Structure 1
Amino acid sequence: MESKHGRRQPRLLSEPERARLDEFQDLIHYSNRYADDTFEYRHVTLPKNMLKAIPKDYFDSETGTLRILLEDEWRGLGITQSLGWEHYETHTPEPHILLFKRPKDYN
């Protein structure tokens, strides 16, 4: 869904969808941060069974993996991180692993 300014609008979860995901929140694993000269990175591993509870329109129909999620979307899944993180890739061989980055000097 795009706004009138051409930016994609987040597809927020309904209450029943959110309730189905609550049981997985404590099982989400966050990697340590790692960095290059520009960005710091981390990956977030969702429990594999959680993928079955995520709405189908959160997935890319061509690859079958989660599409790139906007911040309101990944936070709605129960992923909790400090500000500035951007979901930039899903690890195709392991679709339950989401890759995040943010500028190295982000405060």
Structure 2
Amino acid sequence: MSKPRYLSDSERARVLEFQDMIHYSARYSDDQYEYRHVILPKQMLKVIPQDYFNSETGTLRILLEEEWRGLGITQSLGWYHYETHAPEPHILLFKRDLQ
């Protein structure tokens, strides 16, 4: 597993200005997972460090828990980022095993 890339104090201060504008969808599930999507304010993408992005797609790469929590996303334990919605790069898709 790769190591998380932690934000510097100045980077963290810039992204946390947007924390109160992060939107969390209602949860939905199938037989195996519970899902939700997290919608970041579009202007927040401009202050997230470039190495958090996939250089080929321009969307956020799959973030480790320490990284997405560092961006101000708050969720209970067990969630993991599994996809970024390419047409809308500010939407992050999360899932966790059903309890």
TM-score range, shorter chain: over 0.9
The size of the alignment, in residue pairs, is: 99
Normalising by the residue count of structure 2, what TM-score does the alignment of the two structures yield?
A: 0.99
State the Cα RMSD in Å.
Answer: 0.3
Which residue identity is paired with 2:93? L
- Segments of structure 2 that go 5 or more residues without pairing to the other structure are none
Aligned to 1:18: 12
Aligned to 2:88: 94
Structure showing greater radius of gyration is 1
Which residue identity is paired with 1:74? W
Q: CA deviation at 1:94?
A: 0.2
- Segments of structure 1 that go 5 or more residues without pairing to the other structure are 1-6
Distance 1:48 1:12 in 2: 21
Does 2:38 align with 1:44? yes
Q: CA deviation at 1:22?
A: 1.6
Q: CA deviation at 1:9?
A: 0.3
Which of residues 26, 48, 52 in structure 2 aligns to 1:54?
48
Aligned to 2:22: 28
Partner SS, residue 74 of structure 2: coil
Deviation beyond 3 Å, 4+ runs, structure 1: none
Normalising by the residue count of structure 1, what TM-score does the alignment of the two structures yield?
A: 0.92
Which residue identity is paired with 2:2? R
